Structures are given as C-alpha cells and as structure tokens.
Structure 1
Amino acid sequence: MRFSSLAERQILKAQAEGQLDNLKGAGKPLASADASTEAVGFRIMAEAGALPREIQLRKAIEEQTRILQGITGDARAPELAKLADLQLRLAIEQEARRRFQGC
C-alpha cells in the first residue's frame, strides 16, 4: 500500500470519528505562502529559547533605557555609556544582517 493511500485512509477515519472537528483556526484561511521565512525562523528560534543577537540587544537597550529613567547625577554617565555601547552593537548586527541578505 502506498503512503498517500495510507495517509488518505487515516484522514478519512479521523473525519468520520470527528477528530478534525473544532480545530484551532477552523474556517480561517491558511497562512499565505508569501509569509516571511525570516519571521517563521524567528518564531521557531523563540520557541526553542534561542533568540537572535539582534533581539537580545533590543531587549537589553529597553532595559538600559528603563534603568536610565531612574538615575540622576554622576551615576548617569556610565549608564549612558552602556546604552551607547548596546546601540552601537545593535547597529553592527543590523548592518551585518543587511550585508548577508544582500540588501
């Protein structure tokens, strides 16, 4: 028996038993074939707990910005330097990605 025939039989059996009723997303169109492969890759990486360096840097910048909001006086200068360093690293990562993708 061919695999396609076996698969078709399993699908028909599941339909007859009602296993395919009320599935998440039922009645909605399938995702476009034009969906960004980059977005799909990021989602898979996020689910696996491995975020791209760019995303990690964006989160670090957000956190550093929050830290800076609560600081005044002489303690502010080193924190500003950390923020500038993170922003520079992010710009380098973005440029490397653009060059790699040929944009």
Structure 2
Amino acid sequence: MIIYNVTTKIATEEHLRWLQWMREEHIPAMLATGLFSDYRMSRLLEQDEEEGPTYTVQYTTESLTHYQTFLDQYQQALRQRGYEVFGDRFIAFSTVMEVV
C-alpha cells in the first residue's frame, strides 16, 4: 500500500473556503481518477499558525504504478486548479510513503 501525502499551509482568511473546496471539489476529483481508494485529512497541531493552519491529506493507492500514473496523467491539472482558485494563498508539498 502506498500513501501519497500532501501537506498544505493555507492563509487563515482562506482556510474555511479551502476546506470546503477540498471536500467538495479536490478530493472527489482525486478519487475520481480511480487511482486512489481512500483518503484521510488532518490538521497539524502544535504548529505555528501565524500565517495560517497546516493540513495533510493522505491518499491511499495500491501501487507505485498507480501513483506514477497519477503523476503522469492528472497531477498537473489538479495542482493548477488549486492555483486558479487560491493563487498564492497557500503553499504545499508532497511525500510518498509505503505502508510496512
């Protein structure tokens, strides 16, 4: 099992709108690729929130092949949509993990 983890710091004044967008648009679009079977969203605690809260979303997929297909076919368009909606009001980075 592979976990694709995306960590995002979103501006305080945008975070409620971002959460709604994630739940209603972005996460459903990720799952609609057919490459991820589940997700979990969390808010990081004990973080400096002066510039806004930090969230993680972990998407599970069955293989690195599925993950690579996501990168090749979907990631750029889904990422671009986030910039269209929120511009420079967030910063995000991703990591990939293997369940052991």
TM-score (norm 2): 0.31
Query: Could you say which structure has the higher helix fraction?
Result: 1
User: Which of 1 and 2 has greater Rg?
Assistant: 1
Query: Could you say which structure has the higher strand fraction?
Result: 2
Larger RCO (CA under 8 A, 6+ residues apart): 2
